[in-house]
Amino acid sequence: MHNEREMEEVYSVKMEDEHLLPHHQDDIPTSVLLNLYLGHFLARWGARTWEFSVGLYMINIWPDSLLMAAAYGVVESTSTTLFGPLVGQWIDNSTYPKVLRFWLLTQNLSFIIAGVTVVGLLISPDLRVTNIPTFSLLVVLTNLSGAVAVLSTLAGTILIEREWYILLFVTFGFNECYTCSNTTSLEVVK
C-alpha cells in the first residue's frame, strides 16, 4: 500500500501531465474513424468466426462430447498465455515488413492446414473408431494450427494497432506523439 504522501505525488504528477494531453478527438474526421473501426471489426470478425466455427466442427465430429471443442479452446488459450509475450517482444525487436510477411504467411498457412484437417475429419466421421492414430493426428494438427493461427493473429493485431495512433496523429498535423509509460496514456504535442 502507498502512504498518503506517495499517493499525493502520483496524483500531482498526473494532474501536471493533464495539460499536456489536449483532447484532439474532434480534429480527426469521422470518415477516418469509421474506416478505422470498420477495418478493425472486419479483421477481428474473420478470426473470431474461424475460432467459433472450429468449435462447432469439433462438436460435429464428436457429437456426444464437448471434449474436442474444449481441447481446441484450451490449446489456443494456453498458446496465447505462454507465447503471447514472446510474440510481443519479437515484434518490438523486428522490422515492420518482416513481421508483416511472417504474420500473413503463418496465419494463412495455419488456416489452410487447420481447414484441410477439419475437412478430413468431417469427411470421415467414423475415423475416430476405425483409425485412431489418423484421427489423433488430424486432431493434433487442427489444434496446433489453431494455436499458430491465434498467435499470428495476435502478432498482426499488435503490429497494426501500435501504429494507429502514430499514423492518426501525424497525419492530422501533430508534431510529436509518444506513449507515457508512467500514466499509460498518449501524449500529443501540437
Is the predicted pLDDT of residue 180 greater than 50, yes or no? no
DSSP state of 62: S
117-132 pLDDT, tens digit each: 999 999 988 888 899 9
Is the predicted pLDDT of residue 33 greater than 80, yes or no? no
Residues 148, 110 contacting (CB under 8 angstroms) = yes
131-170 pLDDT, tens digit each: 999 999 999 999 999 999 999 988 888 887 777 766 666 6
Exposed / middle / buried, residue 166 (Cβ in 10 Å: 0-12, 13-18, 19+): middle
At 2 the pLDDT is: 47
56-96 pLDDT, tens digit each: 888 888 888 899 899 999 999 999 999 999 999 999 888 88
- Judged by DSSP in three states, 186 sits in strand
Q: In the beta sheet, which residues pair with residue 177? A: 188
At 46 the pLDDT is: 76
- Judged by DSSP in three states, 18 sits in helix
Domain boundaries, the chain: 29-189
